[in-house]
Each structure stands twice: as structure tokens, then as C-alpha cells.
A and B are shown apart, each in its own frame.
Chain A
Amino acid sequence: MKIKIVLIEDDEILSKVIKEELEEANFKIYSALDGEKGLEMVKAKKPNLVLLDLMLPKMHGFEVLENLKKSLETKQIPVMILTMLGSDDDIKKGLQLGANDYIVKSQHAVGEIVDTVKDFFAKESNPAGKKSAKNNEEK
């Protein structure tokens, strides 16, 4: 069974590229273009990971994150924040709200995002490798 990922990203092009890349990497992707739909989708699909953009129409990413972390059903689902370069305050806030990791979109080639997600799941099954993902993002 494929690993399920809900991708909440409002930019259609970025969403499409990430989705294609991840599907090529054998992940099952459900994508949503706004916060509200994203939240519904997470509740509906109960994915293994949520990739969450912050600057979303209808519902801001932080609100989505808070709702996810409030609900017992979705509380355990890991969330990875997708953000733009230079928004370290957003990253900080996201991590405080319970996000597990973050990806700076503009800094990385799209292939690197897939690597990061792969690393995340590798780390999930092997917690010792947790750090490698972070180091990756510094580059």
C-alpha cells in the first residue's frame, strides 16, 4: 500500500510539479488548492504526511495546522511545512504549533523535495537519522 500524502499548495504549477515528482517516487498524493479543502481532505484521507503551504486562500496554513493538531483524529498525522525563503519566523511558528519539519521551496530544486520527503519516512522508521533531513535544508 502506497504512503498517502496530502499536499495543500495554492500555486497550481508548483502543486502539479511536486505531485508528479512524488507520484513518480511511488507516493499516493491528494492535493488541495486552499486551506479549507486541505483540512477536509486530511480528515477524509487520513494521510501519512501533510505537506502544508502557509500562504493559502480561505484558510491560512497555521489555522489548518492548529485545527489538525486540535483534533484527535488528525493529531498524530505528521505535517511538513512548505515555505518560501526567508520566512524563518513562519517556520519557527509552525514548528511550535506542532509541525514536524519544513521545506523551503524556493531554495531547492524540486528533486530535493522528494529526497526530503523520502528522508522523512526513512527517519520515521529509523529515528536516528532524524538530523540528516534538517542538514539538507540548510543547503
Chain B
Amino acid sequence: MKIKTKIILPIVLTAVIVLTAATFYSYFFNVNALKTTIESHLETTTQSRARSVDIFLEEQVDKIRIAATHSSLSNEELKIIRDSNTEFSEVFLLDATGKIIKSSNEIRIGLDRSTDDYFINTKEGGYIKDAYVSKITGEPSIAVSIPYGQEILVARMGLEVLNDITTDKTGLGNKGEVYLINSGGYAITPLLFKEDTFLNFKIESENAENCLSMNGFKNKEIITHSEPEHIGHKPSIIYTDYRGVGVLGSHYPLRTMSWCLLAEVNEVEALASTKDLLRFSIIRILIVLSTFFIITYLLAKTISKPIITLSQGTKIIKKGNLDYKVGIDSQDEIGQLSRDFDEMTTAIKKSRAEVDQKVKVQTKEIIEKQKDIENQQLATLNILEDVKEEKELTEIERDKIDTILQSIGDGVFVVDKDYKISIFNKVASKISGFSLEEALGQDCRKILKFLDEKNRTPNYSFLEETFSTGKIQMMKNHTILIRKDGSEVAVADSSAPIKDNAGHIIGCIVVFRDASAERKAEQIKSDFVSIASHQLRTPLTGIQWVTERLLKKSSALPEKDKQYINDINLSSKKLSRLVDNLLNVSRIEGGRIGIKPQEIDLIDFINSYLSETNSLTEKKNIQLSFEKHPENLKISNDPSALRNIIQSLVSNAIEYTPQGGKINVFVEDLENNFLFKVSDTGIGIPPQNQATIFDKFTRGENAQQVKTDGTGFGLYIAKQTVDLLGGKIHFESVLDEGTTFFVELPKKVKTIVGGKSFV
């Protein structure tokens, strides 16, 4: 409810209630006052009219009494009496029998009136006969009578005078009337609204009944003149008249006759003025209320206008216009409120500006971050799509690979960087005894126990080296796998790195096979070679030793025989050497060469070997020099391996250097390494053989012509040995001019356990 309404409504309501109450009170008061006035007027009217009727009747009685004072009454004299009293229509004299004996109208003499009231009831002082219809003229009449000696004097008269009195409407309005009724309630005087009612229309209204029931109403003596008493009746009342119309009425009984005088005014007409009063009152209420409303409205507006202004201001501000000022500059409370509000708005604007600024900055940041995120999402989506595509492709590839891997006859498993198994084929399962389910996702080092057969230590160096070098690695020889049931199986083969597109090693594929059979075959071969070499050597040693003794003891032998014996000795030595090389090759290829480094003075070591070649160099007149070298050079190397290299290179140089040639041996200290160099002026290595010169059984084509019994083992063994020692070997050669071999070896070589030495 608006403030304006709140102000206007109670005031106007109060005014309406008060005014209405006051107006209606005054209205009813006025109506009652009017009624009272009308009632008292009616009472006065009935009383005075009744008095007039009484007086008239009493006058008529007096007139007849005066006429009775005449001494003799002739017809003529009766006529005079009639004429002198205008009201009298006829005067006549009855005798003691009731016959008209004299009359102002002679033709009526002789008529008998002995049954008439005025004959029966006349009395001294006079008698009034109640209204009646004249038998002769038919006129409504009354009669007065008085005894005249023995006779009775009667005067008959019409009701005109009474009618005049009652039909006078003065003070009764247009619809008011006064009339008389007799003791039976019948109308005597004319009624305003009904004709021909004389004595034949009974008035049955409340007013009439009240009057007729009054005490002392009947049997009145004209002489008494007593006033009737109004006991138990209101003289005037509102009721419905003989027609059924609402009237205000009053009654008054006559003192001369048992008659009642009734006066009635039409209620509507009488109270017409009260309607005006009501109308006026309502108009007055409306005027007052309008005035009140207008004043209140203006007042309310004065109060509510700034409030509305303030309210509208708050709405405008609420919509965000913080620049808006309510600006009510009054000195009252609302003005103060407005000013406070404007200040508050300013404060809000200020703080909002700050907040806006912060929000702006933060929004900017958020938008940027959002963009970043969107970009990232986009990138991620792209990646995901790529990944998905790749994944699909990969899956197809993987299926293929799986099929291939499962079909492969060797055991295959793939590990990731953490050695977790991701692929494990059937053969791998068969060899190891572990099912695919048991193997997948497991660290291969926990499930697949690869051991070195000899020292029983775990051997995953092939995997570790694949990861670290990125190169294919062979399993060490003599690797065994402990199967699920604890049994051992010899395995062999290799591991290869799996690289991603960027070349990073992401895993490793291991191919292995049950090498029991080949290991066994190898063992047999190895045993055979060992036994064979042993068994070959024993008789060879015998030959050598016997020939040595023969040469030593048999100085008497001819020189030619000695030469033969020497040839036998040399041949057996060559044979021994061949057996040695066969054994070495067998061991190299079987991976059964061990390296056992020990402290060696390299210079002494070389000199010691070179001294053994003296007989050969002398024979071919070759100048072998070992001049360029450090005074001494301490190294840590395997003597048999080192000897193998030196022997191979020096003996080759001697073999392929023609008579009178030169061989130079050099040693150079290279800090961590040393360089061993053998340079000759030999036949050289033909270019077409250079690439394969370190291969087994390979010899230079020219070498085959020079020396037919070469085995092709020498350089092969030398190269293999240099590799085992972690060194490098190469050569420079010019055909028919000479060859230089360069061997670079670490001063300290690493131990390789578990194998046999070179022989």
C-alpha cells in the first residue's frame, strides 16, 4: 500500500464514518422533530376542529332552547324560527303521541314520528339526534330537540356546516383531511378520497379504533361539557388509513356527541421535506468528503512526493545509474534521508568503480587464462586425435606384430624402460614356463632369471647395454634361464632397442631361443678341440723334444742329416702353432676367452718376443729394429693376449717381407693408451683385399703366391684379440712397398672372467 494511500485512507475513512454518523443522526433527529411538530399540529388541529363542531352543536341546542321559550308556536312562527336560523332546514312540533302537529313545512303535519330518537330521547336542556338520512328529503341530517310543554320541538338540519368545518384543509397539505366518524366508526363527513360514504363506510384504521376505545366516549350528555381523557393512547400515530396509505394521524373525541374527529396527513407529503434534508445531507457529505480528500491528497502528495522521488531514485540507481542524484533539498527528515542516500550512492559509485577496475583486470586475466586453456584444450584435442589415429594405426600394426611375434619360432619378449614386459610370445612362454598372463606387466628381471652359467650371477647386461648404447646386444655366451619350475635352460640370442620417432629408446625387444642343443654341440666341439689339441700336442712335443735331443747328442751326424732333423723340428713347431691357432679361434668363437691382466713392462715384453724371431730374420737377412720406444712402459694386460697380437703382426711382417727387407717396431705412449706399430717393406696388401683382410681364412692374393701354407688365422685372431682388449687396429699398405699395422690398446685392460687364455 502506497504511503499516499496510507495517509489518505484512514483520514478519509474516519471522515466518512464521522460525517455519515453525524449526518444520519441529524437526519433522524430532524425527521423526529418534524414528526413531533406534525403530531402536535395534528393534535391541535383535531382539538380545535372538534371544539368548533362541539360549539356548533351546542349553538344549535341553544337555538332550539331559545325557540322553546316562545309562548305559542304556530306554523308561521315555526317558519320564522327556521328562517332566522340558517342552519335549520325544517322546524316542527310533535305532540305527546309523536305526531307532527305543527311544522314550518305544513305538508308534513300529521306524520307520525313517535319512533324517532328526537321523540324518544329528548330531554330537558335539549337533545341532539345522531346523524341520519332524512326519510323525506334523503339528506344527511342531524336534529336537535327540546320539550315544549307537553309537546316536543324539533329542528332538523343538514350537515353543510359540519362539512365546512371538517373539509377545511388549512394546515393539512394537499393530501391531508379531517373527518368525523360516529360511535360505530362510520364516516359522517365526506372523505377526501372516497365519495358517498355517509354512514355507509366504516373507518377501520388504528387511529379510529384508538379513539373509539377511549373511556367515557359513549353516552355523553350534551350538558356535561367534560373533556375526554387520553389514557393509554397516543393521540397521534403513523398508520395506514382506510385506503391503506401511510399517514400521520391524530384523533379527538367530541364532548357533545359520541363522535370522533380524525385528522390525517399523508406521510409522504408530510415528510417530503425530510427527503430534501436527506439529499442535502448526502450532498453535504460528498462536498465535505471531496474537500477532505483533496486536502488529504495534497497533503499526502507533499509527504509522499519526495519519498516517491527517493524511491524512483533508488530504482534508477538499482538499474546501475550511480550518477543519479535524488536531490531533495528540503530540511525535513526526507531531505536528510535524500542527502544521506546521495552520499551513499556516491560512496557506492566510488567503491564500485574500484571493484569495476579490479573486476576488469581480473576479467582480463581470466579471459587470457581461458584462452590459454582453450588453446591447450584444442592442442590436447589435436594431440588426442593424433594419438587416437596413431593408436588405431598402432593397434593394427601391433596386431600384425603380435601375429608375427606369436608365429616366430624364437622366444620374444618386449620390455619398456622400466623392464616391464609388454609383449611375451608363445615360444617365450614355452621356454620360460611362465604364461602370458604371469609375465605381462612384470619386471622381466623378476620373472625371467637370466644367469651367467659359470658364476651364477644375474646377467642382464645385454639389456642394460641395449638401453645405454642403443645398439643391438648379444646375450653373453653361457647365459642360462631359470625356468618357472626351477630347471635351467641354456638360452642365446639378442636384444634390440625400440626407439620412438625422436630416436629415444622406449623399450627393448629380446629374442631368445633354447640353446641347450647348440650349447651342448658347442661343448662337444670345444671338448673335442681341447682334447684334440692336447692329443695332437703330446706327440708333437715328443717329436720336438726328441729332435732337440738328437741334435744335441748327435754331433757326429753329417751336416745334411742335422739339417733334416732341424726341418723336422721346425715343421713340428709350425704344426704346434697351427694347433694353437685352431684352439684360439675355437675359443674366440665360443666366447671362451678370458682376459687376466697383470703388470707387464711392455718394452721388455716386446724385446723378449723379438729375440725369439732372431733365427727367422737372420735366415731371410731381414733387418728388424725396435728403436723408437719409451725406455720402459708399465702396462696392465693379459700376457697371452698381448703376445698373440705382437706375434701375429711381427711374424706376418717377417713372412711377407722379402730377403733383405726391413721391419720396424715402434711403441708410443699415449697417456691412457699406447700405440704399437709394426712397419715392413713387404709385399703389401692388395687394395681389393684390404677391406676383408681381418676376416677369417682371408689372405692377400699376393700372399698366397709368396707363402702357400698360411692359414688365414693370424690377422683374424689379432683383430679379435684387440677387440677383446678394448683397442683398435688398422693398417696402411702400399702394394709391393710395405704395410704398417697400428694397434692402440689401453694401458689397463679390463678383466674378462670365465674364459681360457690364448695359447
Cα(A88)–Cα(B757), bound, Å: 7
Contact bitstring B602-626, A, C-beta under 8 A = 1, else 0: 0000001000100000000000000
Selected interface stretch from A10-18, A33-41, A65-73, A119-127? A10-18
Q: Which chain B residue lies CB-closest to A113?
A: B545
Chain A, residues 80-99, CB within 8 Å of chain B (1/0): the string is 00001111110000000000
Chain A residues with CB under 8 A of B757: 86, 88
- Whether B541 lies near A106 (C-beta < 8 A) is yes
Main SS class of interface, B: helix
- Residues of B contacting A20 with CB < 8 Å? 549
Does A63 make an interface contact (CB < 8 A)? no
Cβ contacts under 8 Å, B596 to chain A:
88
Report the nearest A residue to B640, measured CB to CB.
A88
Give min CB distance, A71 to chain B, whole Å: 29
Residue pair B583, A86 in contact (C-beta under 8 Å): yes
Which one of B546, B583, B596, B639 has the greatest number of beta carbons of chain A within 10 Å?
B546
**Segment at the A interface, from B375-383, B414-422, B532-540, B716-724:** B532-540
Residues of B530-580 contacting chain A, CB below 8 A: 530, 533-534, 537-542, 544-546, 548-549, 552, 576, 580
Chain B residues closer than 8 Å to A21, beta-carbon distance: 549
A84 touches B537 (CB 8 A): yes
Interface contact A17-B546, CB-CB below 8 Å: yes
With a CB–CB cut-off of 8 A, which chain B residues contact A88? 596, 756-757
- In chain A between 5 and 64, which residues have their CB closer than 8 angstroms to a CB of chain B? 11, 13-14, 17-18, 20-21, 55
**B537, B639, B758 pick with most chain A CB within 10 angstroms:** B537
Instruction: Say how far A90's CB is from chain B's closest CB, in angstroms.
Output: 10
- B545–A17 contact, CB under 8 A? yes
A11 and B756 contact, CB distance less than 8 A: no
A125 shortest CB reach to chain B, Å: 27
Any A CB within 8 A of the CB of B759: yes
Q: Which residues of B contact A105 (CB under 8 A)?
A: 537-538, 541
Contact of B580 among A14, A17, A85 (CB under 8 A): A85
Contact indicator A109/B545 (Cβ below 8 Å): yes
Chain B residues whose CB sits within 8 angstroms of the CB of A14 once the complex forms: 538, 541-542, 545
User: In the complex the two chains form, is A11's CB within 8 Å of B538's CB?
Assistant: yes
How many angstroms from the CA of A21 to the CA of B550 in the assembled complex? 12
Closest to A18 in B: B545
Contact partner, A89, options B540, B542, B756, Cβ 8 Å: B756
Task: Chain A residues near B540: list those with CB within 8 A.
Answer: 106
Residues of B within 8 A of A110 (CB): 544-545, 548-549
> Is the pair A138, B549 in contact by a Cβ cutoff of 8 Å?
no
| Residues of B160-204 contacting chain A, CB below 8 A | none
Output the least CB separation between B566 and chain A (Å). 13
Q: Which residues of A contact B583 (CB under 8 A)?
A: 86
List the A side residues contacting B544 at CB < 8 Å. Answer: 109-110
Within 120-139 of A, Cβ neighbours of B (below 8 Å) are at: 138-139
**Given A20-B549, A21-B549, A84 and B542 touching (CB < 8 A)?**
no
Contact A111 B548 (CB under 8 A): yes
For the complex, what is the distance from the CA of A84 to the CA of B536, rounded to whole Å?
A: 10
> What is the number of contacts between chain A and chain B, taking CB atoms within 8 Å?
61
Q: Smallest CB-CB separation from A92: which chain B residue?
A: B596
Contact partners of B539 in chain A: CB under 8 A:
11, 13
B571-598 CB contacts (< 8 Å) to partner A: 576, 580, 583, 596
Residues A55 and B548 in contact, CB atoms below 8 Å apart = no
- Contacts known (A84-B537, A86-B583, A111-B548); A106 close to B576, Cβ less than 8 A: yes
Report chain A residues within 8 Å CB of B758.
Answer: 86
> What's the nearest-Cβ distance from chain B to residue A9, in Å?
10
Inter-chain contacts of A138 with B (CB < 8 A) = 639
Interfacial chain B residues near A111, Cβ < 8 Å: 548, 552
The smallest C-beta distance from A62 to any residue of chain B, in angstroms, reads 15
For the complex, give the distance between the alpha carbons of A138 and B546 in Å: 23
Q: Nearest Cβ distance between residue A109 and chain B, in whole angstroms?
A: 5
- Among A14, A20, A55, A85, the one with the most B-chain Cβ atoms within 10 Å of its Cβ is A85
Is the pair A13, B542 in contact by a Cβ cutoff of 8 Å? yes
A85 in contact with B548 given A11-B542, A139-B608 (CB within 8 Å): no
Report how far A89 CA is from B526 CA in the complex, Å.
15
A89 to B593, CA, bound (A): 12
CB distance from B102 to the nearest CB of A (A): 214
Q: Are B538 and A86 in contact (CB under 8 A)?
A: no
Interface residues of B in 732-759 (CB under 8 A from A): 756-759
> If the complex has contacts A14-B538, A14-B541, A106-B576, are A85 and B546 also in contact, measured as CB distance less than 8 A?
no
Contact yes or no, A106 B537, CB < 8 A: yes
Asked if residues A86 and B756 are in contact (CB atoms below 8 Å), the reply is yes
Which residue on chain B has the smallest CB distance to residue A14?
Answer: B542
**Bound-state Cα–Cα, A89 to B454, Å:** 13
CA distance A110 to B608 in the complex (A): 19
State which of A13, A55, A106 has its C-beta within 8 Å of the C-beta of B546: A13
> Given the known A-B contacts A17-B549, A111-B548, are A84 and B538 also in contact in the complex, defined by CB atoms under 8 Å?
yes
Q: How far is the CB of B719 from chain A (nearest CB, A)?
A: 20
Interface centre among A55, A106, A110, A111 (most CB of B within 10 A): A106
> Which residues of chain B come closer than 8 Å to A17, judged between CB atoms?
542, 545-546, 549
Whole-angstrom CA separation of A55 from B612 in the bound complex: 30
**Cα distance, A13 to B537, chains bound together (Å):** 13
Collect the chain A residues with CB atoms within 8 Å of residue B552's CB: 111
Chain A residues positioned under 8 Å from B639 (CB to CB): 138
CB pair A85–B542 under 8 Å, yes or no, is no
Report how far A88 CA is from B638 CA in the complex, Å.
Answer: 13
Q: Is the CB of B759 within 8 A of A109?
A: no
CB–CB A84/B534 < 8 A: yes
Docked complex Cα distance between A110 and B539 (Å)? 13
Instruction: Kindly state the separation between the CA atoms of A13 and B546 in the bound complex, as whole angstroms.
Output: 8
Query: Shortest distance in angstroms between B610's beta carbon and chain A's nearest beta carbon?
Result: 12
Q: CA–CA, A14 to B546, complex, Å?
A: 8
Residues of A within 8 A of B756 (CB): 86-89
- What is the CA–CA distance of A20 and B583 in the complex, to the nearest angstrom? 31
**In angstroms, how far is the closest chain B Cβ from the Cβ of A60?**
14
Determine the chain A residues whose CB is within 8 A of the CB of B546 once the complex forms: 13, 17
Contacts of B537 in A (CB 8 A): 84-85, 105-106
9 residue pairs, one from A and one from B, having the closest CB atoms: A86-B759, A110-B545, A13-B542, A17-B545, A106-B537, A85-B759, A88-B757, A106-B541, A84-B534
| Given A17-B546, A85-B580, 13 other A-B residues pairs in contact with their CB atoms under 8 A | A11-B542, A17-B542, A17-B545, A55-B534, A86-B756, A86-B759, A87-B534, A106-B537, A106-B541, A110-B544, A110-B548, A110-B549, A111-B548
17 CB-based A-B contacts, threshold 8 Å? A11-B538, A13-B542, A13-B546, A14-B538, A14-B542, A14-B545, A17-B546, A55-B534, A84-B533, A85-B537, A85-B580, A86-B757, A86-B758, A89-B756, A110-B545, A110-B548, A138-B639
**What is A's interface to B at a CB cutoff of 8 Å?**
11, 13-14, 17-18, 20-21, 55, 84-89, 105-106, 109-111, 138-139
